[in-house]
Chain A
Amino acid sequence: GAGVSQSPSNKVTEKGKDVELRCDPISGHTALYWYRQRLGQGLEFLIYFQGNSAPDKSGLPSDRFSAERTGESVSTLTIQRTQQEDSAVYLCASSIAGGYSTDTQYFGPGTRLTVL
């Protein structure tokens, strides 16, 4: 079946503009994660959605970052007033969740964001 998809694949924006990144998880996956990978660094956790529970926003780096998820489907990550340090690859992952150990996370191809 189809894997996790993300759009756009690349986004170039000017400093100060807002951007929206989209993630379509695997159908039936109740858990959805956003991660960020800056050049030369590992992936950093940003936010986690699980069903109707309150999202875990503990990884969001500032109040310029926000994310929403519609039910158990599409999620959008919004970055307001982008800064150059926001340049990174933004990865989305989904998992079935609810098992007896950490469920396998399936990653999308990522969105490469460049802030000029």
Chain B
Amino acid sequence: AQRVTQPEKLLSVFKGAPVELKCNYSYSGSPELFWYVQYSRQRLQLLLRHISRESIKGFTADLNKGETSFHLKKPFAQEEDSAMYYCALSGGYGGATNKLIFGTGTLLAVQP
């Protein structure tokens, strides 16, 4: 079954502390993995995707196919990082529809 698991509903850290938002997936094939973010009163938007291998707002995520994980990391959290983060996957190129399968989300709260 295709599934994305985000085990933490809430992650609270202090400003300047490292952050790791966990994401594990189940998919037969080679999926594409994404992190989407929703800031307060804003719409859901793409943060980063694994094929880009880039750092966005200091966040990085490495796809680990052996552990079927795609954890989101940032070495030093900022208060403006407080938001809801969703991990998602799709079937990638050649996949039926590119529909996204989302996890349940993790609320990141960065305390001053």
Contact = CB atoms under 8 A, between A and B. Distances in A.
Interface residues of B, number: 27
B100 A105 contact: yes
B69 interface: no
What range describes how many residues of A lie at the interface? 20 to 34
B102 A43 contact: yes
The A interface, classified by DSSP as helix, strand, loop or mixed, is: loop
15 contacts: A42-B102, A42-B104, A42-B105, A45-B100, A45-B101, A48-B97, A56-B97, A91-B44, A99-B93, A102-B90, A102-B91, A102-B98, A104-B49, A105-B100, A107-B44
Interface of B: 4, 6, 32, 34, 43-46, 49, 51, 86, 88, 90-93, 95-105
Interface of A: 3-4, 31, 33, 35, 40-45, 48, 50, 56, 59, 91, 95, 97, 99-110
